[in-house]
Structure 1
């Protein structure tokens, strides 16, 4: 069966329930797309956790070498890596108990999706988290 992203309503629910986003491949270079998107999501109130083995801090947050090094729960694993590098990231996302694996615009890997789905995660591929958040939650998240 071919992969299909969750419905817009389901993506909205995922975003509303998300507090912490681990960004795999987050660059410390402000000119890179990953940096701009993470910064925008941080400004919207999400906690951004940089996953970059070559940085100490990014956007004022401690960077971690890998998902397994993060010592607290993560809701969404947002991936800015080439598609072929995503299956091991999906395995780590499952291992740390993340709720959602989000592969950014242009990133698609059926194997990674299957790993995450089998591990009980929501999977979103080839979508920009910032765009989805801007469309579905234009005024920010509602607090319950």
Structure 2
């Protein structure tokens, strides 16, 4: 099912903090470009990558896992292979306060992860880019 523009815009407008799973320090990688964009429009973007713990990216300290995040996160933005998404969603559901949205980036789909998240009342987007959708729907808008 294709989500409506209104549903996408609402999810982005109601988000203040994003956990970006699979964040890369390499500026040529999509996760780096997307995280940089999201931070530039006012979101707090917490990078998650076990290989870069303690480094700074998007103005935040990189954490190894979602369970290492102690503050409220409204949206988890996933840059992982489709077959690796279920454990990410399960950890997010068990660890993050305030979670409302699971977002799987371009090329990423997982029906089981969608089912698990939706059963807990979360909004789920698959195969979409947060930066592209923000630019398309909320051009010039800063996060809450």
TM-score, normalised via structure 2 length: 0.92
Counterpart residue number, 1:25: 22
Distance 2:35 2:79 in 1: 10
Runs of 4+ in structure 1 displaced over 2 angstroms?
Answer: none
Counterpart residue number, 2:76: 77
Distance 2:83 2:73 in 1: 23
Deviations 1:70-95 (A, max 9, x none): 01010100000000000011111212
Look up the SS of the partner of 1:73 in the other structure. coil
Counterpart residue number, 2:7: 10
Counterpart residue number, 1:99: 100
CA RMSD of aligned residues (A): 1.3
1:106-121 matches, cutoff 5 A? 106-121=107-122
Worse overlay, 86-95 or 17-26: 86-95
> Which consecutive residues of structure 2, in runs of 5 or more, have no partner in the other structure?
none
- Shift of residue 45, structure 1, vs aligned partner: 0.6
> Which consecutive residues of structure 1, in runs of 5 or more, have no partner in the other structure?
none
- The alignment of Structure 1 onto Structure 2 pairs a total of residues equal to 140
1:33-52 matches, cutoff 5 A? 33-52=30-49
TM-score, normalised via structure 1 length: 0.92
